[in-house]
């Protein structure tokens, strides 16, 4: 994958327009919008796709995986900002992301969190994200190659957990690694079994509180590494 260069694209203007569209479409969380202004999405896709990088669409990143749609990434981060710890702290605190992919959301999270741990099960994508994020000089992102279904206990508990891949349900390991006052946002099979929905889970002193959000389409959550 090569960076977009010399393509004659006014990428800063395209990026500003993308963020304005998100704002008009109802994304109101200012830190999320600012992060999306700060991280150039075209750096995370192949140069052949750079012209589409600021459209609201998912794009292929290799190995059958995709970079998520900007509106869905923004929405998930907005949900995370409504967690109790995030509201109290004004940032996402300690974050775990499952499904690094090309590293775009990890770079966004790093703008609004104290610490980001991001896990990817496909080694070539893990390596790709490592190269992309080295350019972003994102020092407080830890990229791990492994099975994200297991989470990453050494850095738990997390204030915010977000998954970019959807399984039958949210693995219990993630719930165990969620801090009290923390919030998890992940795609999972819809209650009627016909598709995927965003599931939002808050952990309180009393236990877990689950809300089901909008329909989504994420790549499958798979166990093991490749
Ligand atoms: N966060 C990315 C989205 C990547 S797509 C973005 O910014 O756009 C989702 C990724 O989840 C894929 O790369 C896929 O390989 C990965 N994935 C699926 N199951 C996983 C698992 N159990 N552990 C870690 N990564 C997983």
If the chain, 226 residues long, is cut into consecutive pieces of 10 residues, what is the mean pLDDT of each piece?
A: 62 97 97 97 95 96 95 97 98 98 97 97 97 79 97 98 97 98 97 93 97 94 96
Is any atom of ligand 1 closer than 6 Å to the C-beta of 147? yes
Q: Is 70 in the pocket of ligand 1 (CB under 6 A)?
A: no
Ligand 1 near 219 CB (within 6 A):
yes
User: What span, in angstroms and rounded, lies between the C-alpha atoms of 12 and 72?
Assistant: 21
Catalytic residues, which ones? 68
Query: How high is the pLDDT of residue 137?
Result: 60
Distances in Å between the Cα of 137 and the Cα atoms of 12, 46, 60, 110, 133 are: 19, 20, 24, 10, 6
Whose tokens are 């998954």? That residue is 163
* pLDDT at site 1: 45
Q: What is the CATH number of domain 71-220?
A: 3.40.50.150
The tokens for 9 are 């694209």
Provide DSSP, the chain: -----SS---HHHHHHHHHHHHHHTT---HHHHHHHHHS-GGGGS-GGGGGGTTSSS-EEEETTEEEPPHHHHHHHHHHHHTSHHHHHHSS--EEEEE--TTSHHHHHHHHH-SEEEEEESSHHHHHHHHHHHHHTT-TTEEEEES-GGG--GGG--EEEEEESEEBSS--HHHHHTEEEEEEEEEEEE-TTSSSEEEEEEEEETTEEEEEEEEEE--EEP--S--
Expressed in angstroms and rounded, the spacing between residue 169 Cα and the centre of ligand 1 is 16
Query: What is the Å distance from ligand 1's center to 206 Cα?
Result: 31
Q: Which residues of 130-143 are buried (b: 16+ CB within 10 A; e: fewer)?
A: eebbeebebeebeb
Ligand 1 pocket test, pick from 1, 62, 106, 120 with the greatest ligand atom count within 8 Å of Cβ, gives 120
Task: Give me the pLDDT at residue 135, please.
Answer: 75
Q: What confidence score (pLDDT) does residue 138 get?
A: 61
**Best of 69, 101, 108 to mutate for ligand 1, by most ligand atoms within 8 A of CB?**
101
Distance CA 158, CA 131 (A): 25
Cα(110) to centroid(ligand 1), Å: 17
């Amino acid at each position: 994958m090569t960076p977009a260069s010399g393509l004659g694209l006014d990428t800063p203007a395209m990026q500003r327009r993308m963020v304005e569209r998100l704002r008009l479409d109802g994304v109101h969380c200012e830190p999320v919008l600012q992060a999306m202004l700060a991280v150039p999405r075209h750096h995370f896709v192949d140069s052949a796709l750079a012209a589409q990088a600021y459209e609201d669409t998912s794009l292929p990143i290799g190995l059958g995986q995709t970079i998520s749609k900007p509106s869905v990434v923004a929405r998930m981060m907005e949900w995370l900002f409504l967690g109790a710890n995030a509201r109290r702290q004004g940032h996402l605190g300690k974050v775990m992301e499952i499904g690094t992919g090309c590293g775009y959301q990890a770079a966004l999270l790093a703008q609004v969190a104290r610490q980001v741990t991001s896990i990817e099960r496909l080694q070539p994508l893990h390596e790709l994200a490592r190269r992309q994020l080295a350019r972003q000089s994102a020092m407080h992102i830890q990229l791990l190659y492994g099975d994200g279904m297991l989470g990453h206990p050494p850095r738990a508990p997390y204030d915010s957990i977000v998954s970019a891949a959807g399984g039958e349900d949210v693995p219990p390991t993630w719930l165990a690694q969620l801090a009290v006052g923390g919030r998890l946002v992940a795609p999972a099979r819809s209650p009627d079994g016909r598709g995927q929905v965003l599931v939002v889970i808050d952990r309180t002193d009393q236990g877990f509180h689950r809300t089901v959000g909008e329909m989504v389409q994420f790549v499958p959550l798979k166990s093991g590494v490749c």
